[in-house]
Structure 1
Amino acid sequence: MKAREILSAIKAGRPVAGDCRRPDVEPLPGIPAYRLTTAASRPDRTVLFFHGGGSTGGSTFDSLDLCARIADAAEAEIISVEYRLAPAHPFPAAVEDALFAYRHLLTSGYVPERVVPAGLSAGGTLVVSMLLAARDAGLPMPAAGVCLSPAVDMLFLGDSVIFNQETDWLEPKTLAAMRDAYLPDRDPTDPLASPLYADLAGLPPLLVQAGGGEVLIDGIEAFVSAARLQGVPVAFDCVEGMFHCWQVFAAVLPEGAAAVERVGAFIRRHVPDEG
């Protein structure tokens, strides 16, 4: 399928079916998370995954196909975290859960240089928030981080929020409702909620992947520029014409499949095969 066909289906509320992959799934003891593996997974390369859903929805089981494809492309195991959701658990609950998951891996014997946190949409934001919290707590940094279509500015000030509505399925009213649920009576510029306003120095290399047609693209580009100015190595992978979270449709969208392959290559580059 083509991107415009998928976007039209999403806006119309029609399902987009494809040949979805399913990893092996097992609960991870001691933490609200699942270990996902495929035949390609290596036990010495771990992706700590945070699902999307606007901080108010979503779960590991909504992201099984994407996780399986990342596991194949990265040749890694996936630890997918079931972090708490707003409005029942507003900010900073999700950040606390993400940091707890990373601490759990470290205390369970995982080597930080063999771990890469990755996330989609709100989960991509959570990657940066977790890295900031871990840095401030004095924890060792992981090898790298992967942010897929992250929401990095909860003020949503970019012009693209208005002018890219024809090329994306996210709407300003949806973004505002998400912010109100996630940040009731909180400052939207809190660095752990809006990493665009954070001191980013000391973070590991990042892959930031976004679509040129996203309503969030202006904020994402501003974040990439800010991170680079503060010395963070950032690989910015912007694909023209793509909408928010197009990677989810890798089963039917060639650009989505190619994007996931680039995610895998980035992870393998920063966590090379041992020996």
Structure 2
Amino acid sequence: MEAAEVLSAIRAGLPVRGDRRRPEVEPVAGLPAYRLTTAASRADRTVLFFHGGRFTSGSTAESLDICARIADAACAEVISVDYRLAPAHPFPAAVVDCLAAYRHLLMDGYAPERVVPVGLSAGGTLALSMLLSAGSQGLPMPAAGVLLSPPVEMLFLGDSVLLNRRTDWLAPQDLAEMREDYLLGADPADPLASPLYADLSGLPPLMVQAGGGEVLIDGICAFVSTARLQGVPVTFDVAEGMFHCWQAFAAVLPEGAAAIERVGAFVRRHVPNEG
């Protein structure tokens, strides 16, 4: 399908389905999480995945296709975390859960240099929040991090929030509702909610992937500039014309499949094969 067709279908609320991949799935003992593997997965490379869904929805079960594609592209196992959802469990509950998942992996013998957190949309924010929390608690950093279309600041101040309404399916009202449901009165400038305002020094190398047509692109660009100024190595991968979370539609959208392949290459580069 063409990107414009996919965008129209999303806006109309129509199902967008293609040849979806299905990984092998097993629960992770002691965590609200699942281990997903494909024939390409290696036991010595782990992606810690945080799903999207505006902090209020989403799950591993709804993310099987993108997790399988990431597992294939990265040649990795994927640990997908079903963190608690707002508004029943508002900020910072999801951050606590994501940090607990990373801490669990470390305690279970996973080497941090073999782990890469990957987050989609709200999950991208949580990946950043988890890294910031891990650093503040003295935990070792993972090999790298991947942020896919992350909302990096909850004030949503960028001009693109209004200017890109025609090229995205997210609307300003959607962003306002997400902020209200997730924060429930907490400060939207809190660095754990809005990593753009955090001290980013000490973070591992990041890949930030965004669509040029996203309403969030201005905030994402500001985050990339801020991170680089603070010494964080950032690979900024902008797909011109793409909308929010186009990677999740890789089953029907070639640009989405290509984006996930670039994510896989980044993960493999920072976690090379052992032996």
Equivalent residue letter for 2:33: A
Determine the C-alpha separation between the residues in 2 that align with 1:15 and 1:100.
34
Q: CA deviation at 1:92?
A: 0.3
Q: CA deviation at 1:251?
A: 1.0
Determine the C-alpha separation between the residues in 1 that align with 2:151 and 2:246.
15
Structure-2 residue corresponding to 1:246: 246
The TM-score normalised by the length of structure 2 is 1.00
Determine the C-alpha separation between the residues in 2 that align with 1:274 and 1:79.
20
Q: Deviations over 1:12-60 (max 9, x none)?
A: 1111110000000100001110000000000000000000000000001
Aligned residues: 275
Secondary structure in structure 2 of the residue aligned to 1:126:
helix
Determine the C-alpha separation between the residues in 2 that align with 1:274 and 1:131.
24
| 2:77 is the counterpart of 1:77 | yes
Equivalent residue letter for 2:269: R
Determine the C-alpha separation between the residues in 1 that align with 2:53 and 2:219.
18
The TM-score normalised by the length of structure 1 is 1.00
| 2:110 is the counterpart of 1:110 | yes
Determine the C-alpha separation between the residues in 1 that align with 2:209 and 2:28.
28
Equivalent residue letter for 1:117: P
Q: Deviations over 1:126-153 (max 9, x none)?
A: 1110000000000000000000000001
Secondary structure in structure 2 of the residue aligned to 1:274:
coil
Equivalent residue letter for 1:156: F
Secondary structure in structure 2 of the residue aligned to 1:7:
helix
Equivalent residue letter for 2:143: A
Equivalent residue letter for 1:60: T
Equivalent residue letter for 1:101: A
| 2:3 is the counterpart of 1:8 | no
Q: CA deviation at 1:187?
A: 0.6
Determine the C-alpha separation between the residues in 1 that align with 2:251 and 2:8.
17
Q: CA deviation at 1:103?
A: 0.3
Secondary structure in structure 2 of the residue aligned to 1:34:
strand
Secondary structure in structure 2 of the residue aligned to 1:117:
strand
Determine the C-alpha separation between the residues in 1 that align with 2:14 and 2:57.
19
Determine the C-alpha separation between the residues in 1 that align with 2:168 and 2:41.
33
**Percent identical:** 77
Secondary structure in structure 2 of the residue aligned to 1:63:
helix
Q: Structure 1: any 5+ residue segments left out of the alignment?
A: none
| 2:172 is the counterpart of 1:188 | no
Structure-2 residue corresponding to 1:138: 138
Where does 1:1-275 land on structure 2 (aligned, <5 Å)? 1-275=1-275
Equivalent residue letter for 1:160: S
Q: Give the aligned CA root-mean-square deviation in angstroms.
A: 0.4
Q: Structure 2: any 5+ residue segments left out of the alignment?
A: none
Equivalent residue letter for 1:84: R
Determine the C-alpha separation between the residues in 2 that align with 1:93 and 1:86.
8
